[in-house]
């Protein structure tokens, strides 16, 4: 199964977004929403291994207002693997 171009573009957008969000709560929430949407689309498309990887990212991505991301480096490494 090949990923659709729109899913590939959203992964690229998520990577670019995450590189800029570690101390911006609103952008962090936007990244989290994008990854959640990607998770649903991957599951709907039968890409379960990729969906599991996105779920792992979401488990570590826990935006908190007024603080910087504690696991931004870990999440960035995982996002970069895509």
Q: Which two tokens stand for residue 32?
A: 């989290």
| 58-73 residue pLDDT tens | 888 776 666 566 667 6
Tell me the pLDDT band of 45, cut-offs 50, 70 and 90: very high
Three-state secondary structure call for residue 47: coil
Q: Which two tokens stand for residue 41?
A: 């689309």
Q: Which two tokens stand for residue 21?
A: 């969000």
Three-state secondary structure call for residue 73: helix
**Which helix H or strand E contains 70, and what residues bound it?**
none
pTM above 0.85, yes or no: no
Q: How many CA atoms, within 13 angstroms, populate the side-chain half-sphere of residue 10?
A: 19
For a pLDDT cut of 70, what percent of the chain falls above it?
76
């Amino acid at each position: 199964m090949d990923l659709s171009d729109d899913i590939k573009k959203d992964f690229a957008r998520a990577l670019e977004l995450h590189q800029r969000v570690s101390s911006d709560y609103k952008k962090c929430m936007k990244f989290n929403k994008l990854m959640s949407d990607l998770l649903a689309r991957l599951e709907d498309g039968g890409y379960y291994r990729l969906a599991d990887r996105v779920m792992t990212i979401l488990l570590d991505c826990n935006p908190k207002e007024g603080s910087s991301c504690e696991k931004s480096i870990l999440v960035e490494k995982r996002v970069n693997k895509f």
